[in-house]
Amino acid sequence: MTASTNISSRRTARAGAIAALWVLSMCGSALSQVPDEAKREFNRGVELTQAKKADSAIAAYEAAIKIAPDYLQAHINVGALYYDTGDMAQAATHLNQAIALDSNNVAALKSLGLVHLKADEFDAAIQAFKRHNALNDNDAGVHLSLAQAYKKKNDSKSALASYQRAVALDPKDYRSFYNIGNIHQTAQRFEEAIAAFTKAIELNPDYVEAYYNRAISSQTLDMEECLPDWNAFLTVAKGKKKWSSQVKQAEEIVVQIREYLDSKQ
């Protein structure tokens, strides 16, 4: 019996909302050189962002930039907002302008990487994330996003290294453990896959995908020892409509394995 091992995490590559990158402080690089009118527009953009009025906030930040084209934090904030509203081109434009003003700005590099990742521009995303990590290697979210970019390029070795760095920085990152398990499973390293899926389950006991893929690896590794993992999957998946076909499949597998084991006695 062959079962698919390509069940994905079904989560976006945002590694946390880009809004988290907004720096809502009124302080910024060379802020004393920014005209007061631009500062007022920037502050208005901050308030509108907090009020979840994205279009109006964008207009305020753009007004600030029109007055002060080198207003670094305004470029970063409006770039984040453009990302959040789905305008990747404008987001990239402003974030690249921010990086031109400050090539070592990790917030802008992280945001730009997420923009390229969202736009399926994986090489550009990898470049931005690697530039970020050269300056700050301790952001688990960036390593997770970098891993996802490598995964999209089918570079499993680099993806695995990035996922492993992500969990080293954030040991509670169950999604990265799940993805580590998938990489090991695809490479037929089933013991490593089982260990990673088990860790994901320990961190998120309702993670149905991890139970399912762990059972697949367990069965492939040792059919006589896999029943507990299939039963664990059935326990969490029964009653979930989107898992009905896999539940039926698993029930059939359990019957077949029990019959096989009975025949050996």
Q: Where in the chain is the domain with CATH 1.25.40.10?
A: 1-121, 173-265
Alpha carbon distance 104, 250 (integer Å):
51
Q: How far is CA 145 from CA 48, 113, 151, in A?
A: 28, 8, 10
**pTM summary value:** 0.83
For 169, what's the count of Cα atoms within 13 Å in the CB-facing half-sphere? 17
What's the CATH fold of domain 1-121?
1.25.40
Longest dimension (CA), the chain: 86
Question: What is the residue type of 189?
Answer: R
* All residues at 6 or more sequence positions from 260 whose CB lies less than 8 Å from its CB, including other chains: 223
Is-contact 15 141, C-beta < 8 A?
Answer: yes
Cα 187 versus chain centre, distance = 22
Given CATH 1.25.40.10, say whether it is the number of domain 173-265: yes
pLDDT at 56: 97
Work out the percent of the chain whose per-residue pLDDT is above 90. 84
Tell me the torsion sign for CA atoms 200, 183, 115, 100: positive
Question: What is the residue type of 65?
Answer: I
Averaged confidence pLDDT in the chain: 89
3-state secondary structure the chain: CCCCCCCCCCCCCCCCCHHHHCCCCCCCCCHHHCCHHHHHHHHHHHHHHHCCCHHHHHHHHHHHHHHCCCCHHHHHHHHHHHHHCCCHHHHHHHHHHHHHHCCCCHHHHHHHHHHHHHCCCHHHHHHHHHHHHHHCCCCHHHHHHHHHHHHHCCCHHHHHHHHHHHHHHCCCCHHHHHHHHHHHHHCCCHHHHHHHHHHHHHHCCCCHHHHHHHHHHHHHHCHHHCHHHHHHHHHHHCCCHHHHHHHHHHHHHHHHHHHHHHHHC
Low-confidence ranges of the chain (pLDDT < 50): 1-29
pLDDT at 238: 94
| 218 closest CA partner among 254, 259, 248, 247 | 254
Q: Give the pLDDT confidence of 118-167 residue by residue, as tens digits.
A: 999 999 999 999 999 999 999 999 999 999 999 999 999 999 999 999 99
pLDDT at 264: 77
Four-CA torsion 24, 30, 31, 32, nearest 10 degrees = 160
pLDDT at 85: 94
pLDDT at 17: 41
| 129 closest CA partner among 144, 119, 118, 120 | 144
The contacts found for 51-56 with CB under 8 angstroms, 24 or more apart, are 54/81, 54/84, 54/85, 55/85
Q: Give the pLDDT confidence of 226-250 residue by residue, as tens digits.
A: 999 999 999 999 999 999 999 999 9
Q: Residues in the chain, how many?
A: 265
pLDDT at 30: 52
